Structure 1
Amino acid sequence: MSLRDLKEENRIVIWPSYFFSPTRSKGRRLARMPYKIKTEELVSTLKELGLDPVIIENKKIS
């Protein structure tokens, strides 16, 4: 599944660098988190919220 496919399906894309980059200049968009969240935890939380997350490995923000 490509990013274009996700946009056509009206999905929201969450890039891990939004959370985990060391600085805002390197891509972090949120305040620094006091802990690291695992992908499995994020997926589990999204499912609990009634969403249908799709994980795409090895993609980078272009």
Structure 2
Amino acid sequence: VAESFFKSLKTELIYGTKLMGAKQMKNRIFEYIEIWYRKQRRHSYLDYQTIEEFNNQYRKQNMNNVA
């Protein structure tokens, strides 16, 4: 899983990007993970849902099972 994530990070964010300072790169990686990867990017492993959609569905199912 980690290898797949880092491959996506490098392919989608780093390769083909002009050189930038460490602070700017840190900000770009943060935005990639928190905004794009978690909230917008669809994952085939999660039946093409975003991580946020999957988590919401999981929580809803568990709340129904508890009640």
Higher helix proportion, which one?
A: 2
TM over 0.5: no
Normalised by the size of structure 1, how large is the TM-score? 0.26
Higher relative contact order (CA 8 A, sep 6+): 1
TM-score by length of 2: 0.25
